[in-house]
Structure 1
């Protein structure tokens, strides 16, 4: 019963990057990408990190875990359908090692990750990640939310004056963790509640 060594890592199918990440996070399954999009836009999530191994453990174990720090605790993301192939003994050893690090399991099923409207909303918003936002437009958006508090997205967009697309700017600021969008209650639209990030 050997745990895979760092040199035996499976090929990566992509990388995920967000302002909440301490660097890029390897993505080995499509469900993992969707879960990370949602975590990056979740106001309760403070940071997302990749934990490749536990160096102090003999031998160096290939953990391949994604750590999500929320307001209440630090978790490791465990998507049932995206679990790496490991024996039961390996899975138990790795679970114990993660628990010893103070990480609790955040178990999600495919049905949780793909739940609507959150999944489609997160994909639509994150399509604008990293897009530059004109300083004037940024000040208008943040100023309106600072002065008047939370408001429907449609109302916010009506207040903005710019030659650039204000929708893309709002989505980009949400990806930058400067504003929050309610992506759970209804499909993204004029009634989506928008607020300044606390």
Structure 2
């Protein structure tokens, strides 16, 4: 029996089939990106006979809705390109965003997102969650080092921060990495209180 590799995150409207590691990395980065409001997925019609899971990832961002063209092997075939355009029109997208391997593998964002996502299944004590949220409410956006100093948590503060970023309670600016000067912000799109699992991811 063949099982599908699925991705689930708090911004995802449904489980998203993952074709490869780079697509998974893109979905993780998008989930942790404060500029992305929602991740959707448009599957191909059921009549599609391809064994490889295909479909279109759609990002709703602060600057519009975009159908995502992840280019890993020189671009989509003609039929796939037409399919992507059709989905973009049908979902009233602002445009098509082309993403290649270099975009996804850009550092320090790639390593930072992977490190944070490792904590997605960590359970956070309610007191620790309240302590971190309260510290951010008092301080506003602050650095990881400063938040670690002022948030008195039972568990490892850095681990709790990462886990809370995975459920949307807070945000991390991963463009600058996870060093002491890494920026932590209150979550702008709410957070999920439900533990999410990325099956097979």
TM band (smaller chain):
0.7 to 0.9
Give 2:60's aligned residue: 69
Residue 75 of structure 1: how far off its partner (Å): 1.3
* Matches for 1:102-141 after TM superposition, within 5 Å: 102-103=92-93, 104-141=95-132
TM-score by length of 1: 0.83
3-state DSSP class of the match of 1:50?
strand
SS at 1:184 equivalent? helix
- 1:7-18 → structure 2 map (5 Å cutoff): 14-18=5-9
- How far off its partner does 1:13 sit? 5.3
Contact 2:67 2:84 (C-alpha < 8 Å) held by counterparts: no
Q: Give the structure-2-normalised TM-score.
A: 0.82
Distance 1:109 1:92, change over 3 A: closer
Contact kept, 8 Å, 1:12 with 1:28, in 2: the verdict is no
Q: How does 1:99-178 map to 2 (within 5 A)?
A: 99-101=88-90, 102-103=92-93, 104-178=95-169
8 Å Cα contact 1:54/1:61 also seen in 2: no
Q: Is 1:196 aligned to 2:195, yes or no?
A: no
Structure whose alpha-carbon radius of gyration is higher: 1
Partner in structure 2 of residue 3 of structure 1: none
Structure 2: gaps of 5 or more residues: 189-201
Consecutive unaligned residues in structure 1, runs of 5 or more: 1-10
Q: CA deviation at 1:68?
A: 1.1
